[in-house]
Amino acid sequence: MRDILDEDECNDTYGRIRMYQALLLKQPEGISVPGERTVYRVMEKIGINHPPKHNPNGITQADREARKSDDLLNRDFTSEEPLKKCVTDITEIKAKDGKLYISAIFDCFDSGVLGLAMGTDRKASLCERTLTNAMMEYPAMRGAILHSDRGTEYTSATYRKAISQYGIRQSMNSAGGRCHDNARCESMWARMKSELLYQRYHTNRLSIEELKTLVWRYFISYWNNRRICSANEGLPPWVKRQRYYESLGVAV
């Protein structure tokens, strides 16, 4: 368990479930992995319990006059295949020289990050850039459902033009803007801020460029490839994806 914590800085946030799943994934030679309760007792004994979580506040600003899209997910954030159902959102982090806005697209199949963009302006162009980045890496995403909140960025003409250009089916929160309608993204942001930032860095002492580097490494390197995800039965997103394609006999 100490070796697992030493592999990545953010692994020190592992609770008993993810630590148990990480042990199963590692399958250490000559070691029989005990149950979750035993893992928890050992973690307590050697003092490696994860720190408490923080819940970030949302920053959505809805445009009441703009044309909205239907809610095509209806809070069903599961998918049996990659690149079919995705969610997107924006969050912010305060730095010493301003605010960093982060826009990401997550795949409902494995919670993998398909597209990521960051900037100092919270504009529709940031969301457009996120979508463009995702489509460059995953052109098979064409035709997928992409769900967002009803923020002004997602109802803008700029964003709708990009959605149409890439053949994406736009989905938005139902009327009233209930928080659970895009709970998947809110959960992703909460995990990122808890694991990467809280009790680890004073973000108001870091520059925007320093934060960009931290966030990029966290999502593209750690989150996608190495972070244990309990929703994936203990597999990192790209490991689950690779096993899915292997089961179909498709090279990745």
The per-residue pLDDT for range 168-199, each reduced to its tens digit, is: 999 998 765 555 556 778 889 999 999 999 87
Q: Are residues 144 and 241 in the same domain?
A: yes
Q: Are residues 151 and 236 in the same domain?
A: yes
Structural domains in the chain (count): 2
Q: Does residue 59 form part of some domain?
A: no
Q: Does residue 200 form part of some domain?
A: yes
Q: Are residues 47 and 129 in the same domain?
A: no
Q: Are residues 231 and 161 in the same domain?
A: yes
Q: Does residue 68 form part of some domain?
A: no
Structural domain that includes position 40: 1-51
> Is 24 a residue whose pLDDT tops 90?
no
> Is 114 a residue whose pLDDT tops 60?
yes
Residues 56-63, mean pLDDT to the nearest whole number: 54
* pLDDT band at residue 10 using 50, 70 and 90 as cut-offs: confident
207 vs 27, residue with greater confidence: 207
Q: Does residue 6 form part of some domain?
A: yes
Among all chains, which residue has been given the structure tokens 């990745």?
252
Q: Does residue 60 form part of some domain?
A: no
70 vs 86, residue with greater confidence: 86
Instruction: Give the distance from CA 210 to its chain's centroid.
Output: 20
Q: Are residues 47 and 99 in the same domain?
A: no
Is the separation of the CB atoms in 148 and 169 below 8 Å?
no
Contacts of 153 (CB under 8 A, 6+ apart): 90, 122, 123, 124, 126, 127, 159
Q: Are residues 120 and 188 in the same domain?
A: yes
Q: Does residue 79 form part of some domain?
A: no
* pLDDT band at residue 158 using 50, 70 and 90 as cut-offs: very high
182 vs 71, residue with greater confidence: 71
* pLDDT band at residue 153 using 50, 70 and 90 as cut-offs: very high
* pLDDT band at residue 67 using 50, 70 and 90 as cut-offs: low
Q: Does residue 136 form part of some domain?
A: yes
The CA angle 177-181-183, to the nearest 5 degrees, is 120
Residues 100-127, mean pLDDT to the nearest whole number: 96
